[in-house]
Amino acid sequence: MKAVIQRVKQASVKINGNLHSHIDKGLLVFLAISRDDEEKDIDYMIEKLLNLRIFSNEEGKFDYSISSIKGEILIVSQFTLYGDTSKGRRPDFTLSAPIKMAEETYNKFLERLKQKYSAVKAGVFREEMLVSLENDGPVTIIVESKTNCSK
């Protein structure tokens, strides 16, 4: 599982020109599911999202998590994060999970995240979405579960 996490002042998702989801201060998370993801990857990513200290204190130090500031989280599925561009000119997506597995894992991830944190919104799996954001900082962090799950 891979996530690009952006600290935002606001973010939104439109589908077919209609506003689907909107958050104010919080995290916009682009989430990709790999073909090797397991239950522990879901658990790792949720714990990381809820406890990652990337919100500043009064002195400008990263001291607070999304849970600490009671911000919102917007999750957007993003299989292209596993695009391999090392060969040729077209990304290779063989590391991405097959559609059925990806959708099941994504939905399980959302369900578990919502059980642990109430201020969660999401895009729609496999939809063309227009994502808008106001990046705060800018602060953008990449987290991969496979790198860390076995530790």
Extract the runs of DSSP E, i.e. beta strands, from 1-151: 2-15, 18-23, 26-32, 55-56, 62-64, 72-77, 120-122, 130-144
Active-site annotation, residues: 78-80
DSSP annotation of 13: E
- pLDDT for 149 equals 52
pTM value surpassing 0.85 = yes
- pLDDT for 133 equals 98
* Tens digit of pLDDT at every position of the chain (151 positions): 999 999 999 999 999 999 999 999 999 999 999 999 999 999 999 999 999 999 999 999 999 999 999 999 999 999 999 999 999 999 999 999 999 999 999 999 999 999 999 999 999 999 999 999 999 999 999 999 975 554 4
- pLDDT for 151 equals 45
SS3 content of the chain, % helix, strand, coil (to 5): 30, 40, 30
Domains along the chain with CATH numbers? 2-148 (3.50.80.10)
- pLDDT for 146 equals 76
- pLDDT for 147 equals 59
